[in-house]
Amino acid sequence: MNSKDHIDKNKLEEYIINYYFQGESPGESEKEMDCIKIEQHISECDECTQKAHVIFNELKDISNWTVYEDNQALLNLRVYDTLKALEAKTENAEIKFRLSRWLEDFKGLAGGTFRVLMDMYTNGKRKTTKMITEGVDKFNAKNSMMFNYSMELTPTRGGEKEIVVNYNKLESENTDISLKIYLNKKKRMLHVEFMADETKELPIGILLPSKATGNSRLKQPVYNEQQKKWEIIFEDIAEGEYYFMFEPGYMV
């Protein structure tokens, strides 16, 4: 299939319904190859990408995911208890001070919080790896950070110019420092980049499992001398659902 051989509308609609709304895996190798070909074609053909975009909007709004839960008070309590536990066990005086400050001014989830799905089943059918930021602007926290999704394979919900969106890559929209976040399924890694000089003080990051089981992980930004940027890297992330949050109160 090349850019001249456009995808039939019915076939494209079936692909979108199965792949995005019902969360079904193609299963059979023939269907899986067909799925890969369609994705490759969409990434190269503006006409079929726009067609997919229109069909997608007609069928359903994909952004029915949110960072919020039904019991937000319970989630906030988990976050608070996690901060207390991390503060108690850390031997780093600077981190202990910063966590104490976070606890004293606690307002629930932080100003930049993401829901992270690492290779997990959605609707009990198809595994997915993506980040969701919907609702970040509603958090009652300092310096809430807005993000743009990078333009790639998934048809989006609004605007003819917003053709496709990749839920594995994010870039900051209202920050002075360039901030990028990547979620890598193959490497099971969450990678944060701050394009800032060595003197900049930047927020720590916490990766919290959404379920009560599992250990929370805290990382400080580390300066990459060779590439002149700060990085937070979480590796070996197990399959499942998480919340990733930045320490509030930092201007980036």
133-158: pLDDT as tens digits? 755 444 434 455 666 655 443 444 44
**The pairing of beta strand 164-172 with beta strand 147-155:** antiparallel
Q: Is the dihedral of CA 68, 74, 76, 82 positive or negative?
A: negative
- At a CB cut-off of 8 Å and minimum separation 6, what does 92 contact? none
Residues, the chain, total? 252
Max mean pLDDT among 77-81, 84-88, 102-106, 166-170 falls in: 84-88
Q: Nearest CA to 171 among 162, 182, 161?
A: 182
**3 has pLDDT over 50:** no
- Mean pLDDT within 79-91: 94
**The pairing of beta strand 205-209 with beta strand 229-234:** unpaired
Distance in angstroms (rounded) separating the CA atoms of residues 50 and 66: 26
Structure token digits, residue 110: 């932080």
Q: Which residues, in sequence order, are bridge partners of residue 240?
A: 118
Structure token digits, residue 109: 């989830």
Q: Which residues, in sequence order, are bridge partners of residue 205?
A: 219, 246
